[in-house]
């Protein structure tokens, strides 16, 4: 088990997932972005670094069935499966580091609320982008949420990279394009404020 895997498994084994700083009782911004890109229930969705997020619950309520949940923590995914109850067998659960993701299939929607900004090593960022390119369908859309330039410099005891539109475009390279973005202020369970940027990303024409 890598140091990164050990860290996140310890987080979900030792803490109530409803008390971690990134917890959202309702994933309102993500759902708004799904509406903005015109997401349809028949489309396939991959949520990378899903943790114990309630987004999958809301997607199931909306009729989505082709959902793949990816997280580095086995405990996090077990929390989701247990919470979903009778619906727990619908998603496909994958315990894997997103920088090593290789599922051999593409998805219409790639969703990542808070993984990318933890990749402070340039090689890890390159591996993430390679995985995104490998798994994003030709007409697909990626939704990536990160701390903004005014957001925290660390989270869960780890340093983070903060992004605006120009900075994330530089990392994505020439084949992928930031199509739109919005800024949102997340209120943590402890009452703190964290500013996020959410980016909608697609393939550049001709890529």
Q: What is the pLDDT of residues 94-148, one digit of tens each?
A: 999 999 999 999 999 999 998 999 999 999 999 999 999 999 999 999 999 999 9
Based on the structure, what is the number of domains in the chain?
1
In a domain, 23, yes or no: no
In a domain, 19, yes or no: no
DSSP helix/strand/coil, 30: helix
Q: What is the pLDDT of residues 57-68, one digit of tens each?
A: 999 999 999 999
What is the residue-averaged pLDDT of the chain? 91
CATH code of the domain containing 60: 3.40.50.150
- Using CB atoms within 10 A of its CB, is residue 52 exposed (0-12), middle (13-18) or buried (19+)? buried
What is residue 23's predicted lDDT score, i.e. its pLDDT?
55
Contact 74, 9 (CB under 8 A): yes
Contact 144, 168 (CB under 8 A): yes
In a domain, 54, yes or no: yes
Nearest to 95 by CA among 114, 69, 132, 125: 69
In a domain, 38, yes or no: yes
**Sorting pLDDT into bands at 50, 70 and 90, what band is 12?**
confident
184: Cα separation from own chain's centroid: 15
Residue 133 — φ and ψ, nearest 5°? Answer: -65, -35
Residue 22 pLDDT > 70, yes or no?
A: no
In a domain, 21, yes or no: no
* Residue numbers of the domain that contains 7: 3-12+28-203
Q: What is the pLDDT of residues 150-174, one digit of tens each?
A: 999 998 788 999 999 999 999 999 9
């Amino acid at each position: 088990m890598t140091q990164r895997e050990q860290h996140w498994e310890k987080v979900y084994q030792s803490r109530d997932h409803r008390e971690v700083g990134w917890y959202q009782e309702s994933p309102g911004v993500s759902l708004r972005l799904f509406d903005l890109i015109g997401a349809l229930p028949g489309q396939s969705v991959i949520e990378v670094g899903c943790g114990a997020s309630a987004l999958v619950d809301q997607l199931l309520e909306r009729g989505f069935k082709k959902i793949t949940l990816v997280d580095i923590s086995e405990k996090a995914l077990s929390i989701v499966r247990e919470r979903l109850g009778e619906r727990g067998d619908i998603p496909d659960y994958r315990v894997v580091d997103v920088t090593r993701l290789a599922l051999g299939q593409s998805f219409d929607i790639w969703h990542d609320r808070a993984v990318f900004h933890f990749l402070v090593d340039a090689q890890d960022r390159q591996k993430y982008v390679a995985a995104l390119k490998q798994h994003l369908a030709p007409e697909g859309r990626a939704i990536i949420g990160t701390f903004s330039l005014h957001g925290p410099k660390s989270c869960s005891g780890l340093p983070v990279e903060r992004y605006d539109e120009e900075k994330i475009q530089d990392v994505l390279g020439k084949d992928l394009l930031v199509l739109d973005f919005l800024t949102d202020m997340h209120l943590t369970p402890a009452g703190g404020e964290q500013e996020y940027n959410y980016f909608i990303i697609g393939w550049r024409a001709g890529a």
